[in-house]
Amino acid sequence: KQEVTQIPAALSVPEGENLVLNCSFTDSAIYNLQWFRQDPGKGLTSLLLIQSSQREQTSGRLNASLDKSSGRSTLYIAASQPGDSATYLCAVRKAGGTSYGKLTFGQGTILTVHP
Amino acid sequence: DAGITQSPRHKVTETGTPVTLRCHQTENHRYMYWYRQDPGHGLRLIHYSYGVKDTDKGEVSDGYSVSRSKTEDFLLTLESATSSQTSVYFCAASLSLDTGELFFGEGSRLTVL
């Protein structure tokens, strides 16, 4: 059974810091990994999608890397801003088997960026 | 904009009453999903659809049914709501089941008294 763990569970940083969120998964047989952002009372917004054949993806101040063999992904946020405050979730999509295409989510990292 | 809208966004109902949540998408995604999100449990898949009239169960499907009569609409029905079904429900959609990016709606908060 795929398990996805996100560390840390919560993070509070001053504005301007560069920070790293971690996501680890137990089964490396995946199609892709996706990072989401969720604001309070809102839905999940897709940030980055990394296919299993890729090593990283970038969007603006965000950079996500994937090391499938070790079961790890990191989300790097450069020059953090108060508007980055949200919960960040990662999810992996299983390849093959009886759970074809099943997406497993981590519990999320709650990020607070204070001015 | 993911083009996914859910209705109603908020609903309060009583135990034993039927409830239907609607998901509408405008991007012609083939696959649609219903998740529930609860503290301590994260996001859990209830049901998903891989085409019109084609649906399958997720990990927490007991007490729920779904229907998809058109590509753009995916309905989630609680035949007889229970307090344990108080939750936030999210609809999601993707173009493919393997490599496709997943897009979410804004959520429907359901309270069962």
Q: Which of B42, B97, B99 sits opposite A105 (nearest CB)?
A: B42
In the 8-state DSSP scheme, what is residue B106?
Answer: -
- pLDDT confidence of residue B87: 98
What is the C-alpha to C-alpha distance for residues A111 and A113, in angstroms, rounded to an integer?
A: 7
A97: pLDDT strictly greater than 70: no
- pLDDT confidence of residue A75: 97
3-state secondary structure A4-55: EEEECCEEEEECCCCEEEEEEECCCCEEEEEEEEECCCCCEEEEEEEECCCC
A-chain CB neighbours of B105 within 8 Å are 43
The token pair that represents A112 in the structure block = 């607070």
CB contacts < 8 A, A to B, total 45
Containing B68, the helix (H) or strand (E) segment is strand B64-70
Binary contact (B90, A44; C-beta < 8 A): yes
**Percentage of residues in chain A with pLDDT exceeding 90?**
87
Q: Which one of A25, A44, A46, A89 would you mutate to disrupt binding with B, by most B Cβ within 10 Å of its Cβ?
A: A44
Instruction: Report the DSSP beta bridge partners of residue A109.
Output: A88
B-chain CB neighbours of A36 within 8 Å are 104
Q: Mean pLDDT score of chain B, rounded to an integer? A: 94
What is the C-alpha to C-alpha distance for residues A95 and B44, in angstroms, rounded to an integer?
A: 18
Q: Which one of B102, B106, B108 would you mutate to disrupt binding with A, by most A Cβ within 10 Å of its Cβ?
A: B102
Distances (CA, A) of A50 to A64, A99, B40, B100: 8, 20, 26, 10
Distances (CA, A) of B110 to A63, A107, B37: 35, 21, 11
The token pair that represents B20 in the structure block = 């239907």
The token pair that represents B95 in the structure block = 């173009």
Span A49-66, pLDDT tens digits = 999 999 999 999 999 999
The Cα of A34 is separated from the nearest Cα of chain B by a number of Å equal to 8
